[in-house]
Structure 1
Amino acid sequence: MKNLILLLVTLLFIAGCTSNKTEFKISNNGVEAQVLQLKNHQISYTVKKDGHVIIDTSLIGIVVNEKSLGSNSKIRLSERFSEEFDYSMFGGKNTAYHKTNISKFEIKEKDGFTWFLEFLVSAEGVAYRYIVPGTGTQDVKGELSSFRFPNNTKVWYFERNNDWKLKSHAGEWLCSDISQMPAISKMGPVQGLTLTCEMPAGGYALVAEAALYNYSGMRLEAIGDNTFKANFAEGEKGFEIEGDILTPWRCILLADDLNSLVNNTLVPSLNPKPDGRLFADMSWIKPGKAAWYWWSGKFSTFEAEKRTVDNAEKLGFEYTMVDEGWERWSNKWETITELCNYAKNKNVGIFLWKHSNQLNFPENGYALMAGFLDSLKQTGAVGVKVDFMNGETKSLIDFDEALLKLAAERKLMVNFHGCQQSSGEYRTYPNEVSREGIRGVELNNMKEGPLSASHNAALPFTRYVTGHADYTPLAFTAPGETTWAHQLATLVCYYSPFQCIAENPEYLLKTQKIQPAINFINEVPSVWDETFVLPQSKIGELAILARRKGNDWYLGVLSAGEKKQLQVNCNFLKEGNYSAEIFSDDILAEPVPLEGLNPRANLTKRNTAIPFKKEVIICDKNNNLMLNIAANGGAVIWFKAREK
């Protein structure tokens, strides 16, 4: 009932309170935010870009210790300052740059209680957070934070027709007019972050959160009138915080085009920089690709994993991912140590899987987790994959951070599965080398799958904007409705410092039709120096991304829908000549029969795939290349810089 009353109050406020008593403006490069104190003493805000409304009058406030802070308040500006810095990162580019203007407001409630609001505006977007002083245990019952968009805003959201939707964020990316959002889902009006919005006046806005620590993860409830309101998994029960409350940043990322959206680094920039003592040496954090037995074989054996190590060496992969099942091996610790020693001699590192419910015991500073990580470290493993958190309550967010800290103390990398999307934690904890929070290619082996080409073509502009993802790309034996060239392009269009390759490594090595691309599969990076999105791209229909590593460029095309003829303008290249290896849909070839290739594959919708073909040409930045793309197809071009 409390939630219903709060929703009604919110709607009445938005519909009826438009006269401003006090307002403060913060601007930066055409982005303007207003923080407003209305005549009824409610705190709210608006956001504009180049004069166009992005966020119309929307609530600000937090409910703590049964008090609705921000609802009957007086606000004053207490401080203005700017920040400017850059930092290196493992992602779609190697350096992020952050320049922002920040205003800090002191807000006094009618009873005299004082708290603070920080509001930030940069060329990349707008963000705000709450600071609530206190001692002892503070009880957070929710937030008034809301986001009211203009009419005709087009919203991209992820959907899954079961209760896993908000547990693992592994939904299919779909779009709808904002007016339909309260009733669009059978699972109810609550959506998980992020939401990518195509604005009616042009450009894009993406709602996210940043620096999610010591708090519950925010979801968004569509409450009507084009408005989303902050929602938390704990519901009316709320969650407790000891001492001062510092909330995550509530972010609205802004971009004129998809290139600016993909290159937006506001979310990681709002996370604290790494602890200089914990990460004084980061040489042990090494991006790379991993071979994986589980996708095609599921429960593994020592001998199967030993062969996977051999195959990783042959493919030039840096890692193997030993998934669920190794803990049932006889003398598991001795056996896994033998495997790690064997892999080390081949310059291959081992990641080991673990269920979160066997580690999530906060007692004595997560002593049980620390003990497990000590044992894992002693085996010679280099990282851990922790699975099935299945939510983003405060207790689970606390678990995530404890794991990252304890793993970093032991120089272990971390891959989260069964979790929410990124809020930029990887800046503070660079040992987080991947996380799921995505509907990845494992769905192609499930009854619920396979993935649609449209979903794939939406991912670079939705899920991947805020951080890396363990989609586990490359599925030749179970590509769903897509083509083999489309699958190759996922290696370029999707990034993860720990890039776990789904396809059976033995199939990659032994299949003649794949051999023309085997060197590309070996050499394609997992992180990049620079990324450029070609202007033909359109969310859910066509993703064309060019990425640079060193002097070489890689271009990936993910297409959904009917066949296309694309013209690729090579003006993103640097000066000089390139040898371009082109992998494109071989539309005239016999389709590849898939029956029997992968015993786990879901082939009910399609049991053949269009193969790729390879050609090599010489080109430079002045060339326009023509690509014939099959229905739901794709392409890859590897531009190798030639010596002058």
Structure 2
Amino acid sequence: MIRGLVAALLATVATPALAEDVTSPDGRIVATLDVDNDGVPYYRVMRDGAEVIAESDLGFTFTDAETMRRNFVIENAVTATHDDTWEQPWGERRFVRDRHNELAVTFRETRDTSKRALTVRMRVFDDGIGFRYEFAESADMPVANIAEELTEFAIAGDGTAWWIPGGDWNRYEYLYNETPITGVSIAHTPMTVRLDNGTHLSFHEAALVDYSGMWLRRMDGRRFRAMLAPSSRGAKVVREGAFETPWRTIRIADGPDGLVESNLELNLNEPNKLGDVSYFEPAKYIGIWWGMIRGDWSWAQGPKHGATTERAKEYVDFAAENGFRGVLIEGWNYGWDGNWFGNGRDYSYTRSYPDFDLEEVAEYARGKGVRIIGHHETGGNIQVYEAQLEDALDLYQRLGVDVIKTGYVADAGGIISCNADIADPCEGEVYEWHDGQRQVQHHLKVVQAAAERQIAINPHEPVKDTGLRRTYPNWVAREGARGQEYNAWGRFANGPEHDPTLVYTRMLSGPMDYTPGVLGLVGAEGVPIASTKAKQLGLYLAIYSPIQMAADFKESLAEHPRELDFIRQVPADWAESHLIAGAVGDYAIFARKDRNSEDWYVGGVNDATERTVTLDFDFLEDGQTYAATIYKDGPEATYLTDKRHDIAYETLSVAKGDRYTVRLAPGGGMAMQLKRR
């Protein structure tokens, strides 16, 4: 459903070398595009009359052409306005308003040896900016072999940054650093910044298609420069003819709520290209997974093999009895024996291990009204996966498997691809980065092939989310951060501050398959998890995904019937979502409205600091009362002791204007169901 008004384009011609400005619809943000005295293109961002992004250079270097940096003038400028509202088929909110003003400036070189042109398109929203480069088809440069972008982000004030290292072996799976801005080295995006004046910023990108992912490298002081993920070819990006880069984005907000509730990257992506995607149903699932993560079972064949026909049927039975739509089954196929990490040469995506009958399990699940969630681990070997992709997807389509979790377990530069210099079929291997151009191309290929068969994709060890779920709504979630699995591998391996930090960093890019619901709070060999029981429920509100797992063993879930009841009922699809209390890295409490009823859910997560929070119910409908069922940390709850299971329950009646005060334990959280009477 599309509503609203799209204004007509207003074309203007600029005088060469004069600055061009574009202002946000509310008038608070002003972005400038200009050239300096050396003809270097740059941009600058002001908010409420104060500089937020100081003069920041724009440009490119190439492997086989002169640098695009100096000797430019402004050739022309075109402006536009836009205001409409579009509907998400699923998401944190049903309707998204896209209101922005746009400026497209074409810079032209003045040297006798080169007259190349470069267009920078800047869109300014009330909640930030996005800009991209546009290259026209050119006989002088029919192929662009990009060595690096020279895009800068010069942060104008001091502040604190939350970031993870870019270009390191473990992809995005790190605990977040909290440092002064000047303490950042090379960072993945999103990178979140809180300036000393309270302004909140997030640096990221949108619509990452056929291009390398962008890291941020601090040059000096508070000045950062784009750094593209490497490629085996030398050139980090190779593009033919006319093309556009991804959008470089900066969310700008007064506080954490504005940062979290922004739709900036979604609005910078193209509309849905797939049409009707009602075949995807947001839902919750369980799976044969936690036992492998903890080491109780194995993915490989042998006496500990997890994915047996018998165990799969038991999990299907539990799902059917408790209202879970899906059952994830990992380790069912050949290829897991031996060293598959960063290898993947032996995987078959159509051949089951002898003790697992895929056809039988799929038929059994259908009879119970349950869907199997498929699994394709590649070990980072996209050459092997792409060779089998069509057959693998056809098999799942025939069996009614309509969601697939893919995996790319390999070190950052360990993606195995075809040697582009060898004619097909590929006879050689090269190694690519997880977020390089080749892997970006691969992920979209999988998503598009799955869409043809009405299958949704949830990649782990992925390329980061950049809002492409708007264009390809079967791209429903991904991992792309340090998930719940780390809790199984060491005492407090994910510290209590990790979850509330994710809300303001990783989650700004899109849905995450974090795998909450480990109610037993125990990892491998009995190691405790840095969480209370109430926090495991709060994760369903804090870490959004349209597919939410109850990750624990089915026996453990059954041992906590009241908590299991909440997990059964909490939706995975929302009409509205609001951050009603929180601070970056400290805590986060959301209010979310069910898309399919008038009910609301409130909940979230806390760090290691005990705190008391007062919640306002101003989001509720006027004149209505709601029956509240509350799950909260008990009086002795703390992640530090065996009291982490201490949980309290409460019921009361609430209405708009009421307030509720709740204790959040160290490593704690809370959840609340509000049913309209």
Aligned amino acid, residue 279 of structure 2:
W
Paired residue type of 1:97: R
Distance 1:164 1:61 in 2: 28
* 1:232 aligned onto 2:247: no
Indicate how the Cα distance of structure 1 residues 492 and 266 shifts in structure 2: closer, same or farther if over 3 A, else same.
Answer: same
Go from structure 1 to structure 2 and tell me whether the alpha carbon gap of 1:362 and 1:61 turns closer, same or farther (over 3 Å shift): farther
Distance 2:516 2:107 in 1: 48
Partner residue of 2:92?
92
Instruction: Indicate if the aligned counterparts of 1:566 and 1:628 stay in contact, CA closer than 8 A.
Output: yes
Counterpart of 2:168 in structure 1 is: 163
Q: Report Cα offsets for 1:192-212 as digits up to 9, x if no partner.
A: 110111122222111010000
Contact 1:493 1:556 in 2 (8 A): yes
Q: Partners in 2 of 1:529 and 1:377 — Cα distance?
A: 30
Matches within 5 A, 1:178-577: 178-181=181-184, 189-234=185-230, 237-275=235-273, 279-297=274-292, 298=297, 299=299, 300=306, 301-327=308-334, 330=352, 335-356=357-378, 360-361=382-383, 366=386, 368-388=388-408, 390=412, 391-447=434-490, 450-477=493-520, 478=522, 480-509=529-558, 511=559, 514-534=560-580, 536-549=581-594, 550-575=597-622, 576-577=624-625
Partner of residue 121, structure 1 = 124
Q: Which residue of 1 is the match for residue 525 of structure 2?
A: none
Change beyond 3 A, Cα 1:272–1:356 = farther
| Cα displacement string for residues 323-374 of structure 1 (whole angstroms, at most 9, x for unaligned residues) | 23444675679921221121122221112111235872399xx553222211
Equivalent residue letter for 1:377: Q
What is the CA–CA distance in structure 2 between the aligned matches of 1:218 and 1:252, rounded to whole Å?
Answer: 13
2:21 maps to what in 1?
A: 25
369-378 or 607-616: which moved more? 607-616
**Could you give the per-residue CA deviations for residues 149-190 of structure 1, whole angstroms, max 9, x where no partner exists?**
123221111259x9334x2x1221231111222xxxxxxx22
1:332, 1:419 → 2: CA distance?
Answer: 30
Question: What's 1:14 paired with?
Answer: none
Tell me which amino acid in the other structure corresponds to 2:116: F
Distance apart, 1:227 and its partner CA: 1.3
Q: Which amino acid aligns with 2:81?
A: S
1:210 and 1:423 in contact (8 A); partners too: yes
2:144 is aligned with 1:138 = yes
State how far apart, in whole Å, the 2-side matches of 1:616 and 1:440 are.
32
Residue 274 to residue 35, structure 1, CA distance change in 2 (3 Å): same
Q: Which amino acid aligns with 1:193?
A: T
Measure, in 2, the Cα distance between the counterparts of 1:356 and 1:246. 30
Q: TM-score, normalised by structure 2?
A: 0.83
Letter in 2 for 1:93: R
- State the AA in 2 paired with 1:558: V
Q: Which residue of 2 aligns with 1:579?
A: 627
Alpha carbons 2:397, 2:453 under 8 Å: kept: yes
Give 2:408's aligned amino acid: F
| AA aligned opposite 2:325 | E
2:338 alignment counterpart? none
Q: Secondary structure in 2 aligned to 1:518?
A: helix
Distance in 1 of aligned mates of 2:389 and 2:502:
33
Instruction: Kindly state the Cα deviation for residue 428 of structure 1 after the two structures are TM-superposed.
Output: 0.7
Where does 1:58-73 land on structure 2 (aligned, <5 Å)? 58-64=56-62, 65-73=64-72
1:337 and 1:380 in contact (8 A); partners too: no
Residue 303 of structure 2 corresponds to none
Determine if contact 2:59/2:150 at 8 Å carries over to the other structure.
yes
The alpha-carbon distance between structure 1 residues 80 and 558, as it changes in their structure 2 partners (threshold 3 A), is: same
Cα distance between partner residues in 2 of 1:436 and 1:386 = 10
Q: Answer whether contact 1:23 1:34 (CA < 8 A) is retained.
A: yes
Structure 2 letter corresponding to 1:173: Y
SS of structure 2 residue aligned to 1:337? helix
Structure 1 counterpart of 2:667: 632
Find the aligned partners of 2:663 and 2:379 in 1 and give their Cα distance: 49
| Contact map agreement 2:17 2:74 (CA 8 A) in 1 | no
Determine if contact 1:54/1:150 at 8 Å carries over to the other structure: yes
In structure 1, the residue corresponding to 2:476 is in which secondary structure?
A: strand
Q: Deviations over 1:427-485 (max 9, x none)?
A: 11100111010111100011485211111112222111221011111222236222111
Distance 1:547 1:208 in 2: 25
For the structure 1 residues 179 and 193, does the alpha-carbon distance in structure 2 shift closer, same or farther, using more than 3 Å as the test? same
Question: How far off is 1:71 after superposition?
Answer: 2.4
Q: Which runs of 4 or more aligned residues in structure 1 lie more than 4 Å from their structure 2 counterparts after TM superposition?
A: 328-334, 605-608
CA shift in 2, pair 1:449/1:633, >3 Å: closer
Deviation at residue 126 of structure 1 after TM alignment: 0.8
Question: Pick from 639, 643, 651: which aligns with 1:616?
Answer: 651
Helix, strand or coil for the counterpart of 1:427?
A: coil
Structure 2 counterpart SS, 1:234: coil
The corresponding residue for 2:348 is none
Q: Match of 1:250, as an amino acid?
A: R
SS at match of 2:82: strand
8 Å CA contact 1:52, 1:201 repeated in 2: no
Cα distance change of structure 1 residues 488 and 409 upon mapping to structure 2, 3 Å threshold: same
2-structure distance, mates of 1:610, 1:357: 36
Q: In 2, Cα distance between the equivalents of 1:370 and 1:498?
A: 24
1: distance between equivalents of 2:94 and 2:354?
39
SS of 2:538 mapped into structure 1: helix
In the superposition, relative to structure 1, how do residues 157 and 118 fare at CA in structure 2: closer, same or farther (>3 Å)?
A: same
More helix by share: 1
The alignment of Structure 1 onto Structure 2 pairs a total of residues equal to 591
Please tell me the residue identity of whatever aligns with 2:631. Answer: F
1:566 maps to amino acid: V
Question: Is residue 2:102 matched to residue 1:102?
Answer: yes
* 1:361–1:368 contact (8 Å) kept in structure 2: no
Distance 1:503 1:209 in 2: 34
CA drift at 1:421: 2.2
> What TM-score do you get using the length of structure 1 for normalisation?
0.87
Secondary structure at the counterpart of residue 279 of structure 2: coil
Q: Return closer, same or farther for 1:341/1:118 CA change in 2, 3 Å cut-off.
A: same
Matching residue's letter, 1:414? I
Q: Return 5+ residue gaps in structure 2 as ranges.
A: 1-15, 300-305, 336-350, 413-433, 523-527
Distance 1:103 1:640 in 2: 46
Q: CA deviation at 1:624?
A: 1.7
- CA contact under 8 A between 2:492 and 2:530: conserved in structure 1? no
Instruction: Structure 1: state its 5+ residue gaps.
Output: 1-19, 182-188, 593-604
Distance 1:154 1:430, change over 3 A: same
- Assess if the C-alpha contact under 8 Å between 1:174 and 1:455 holds in 2: no
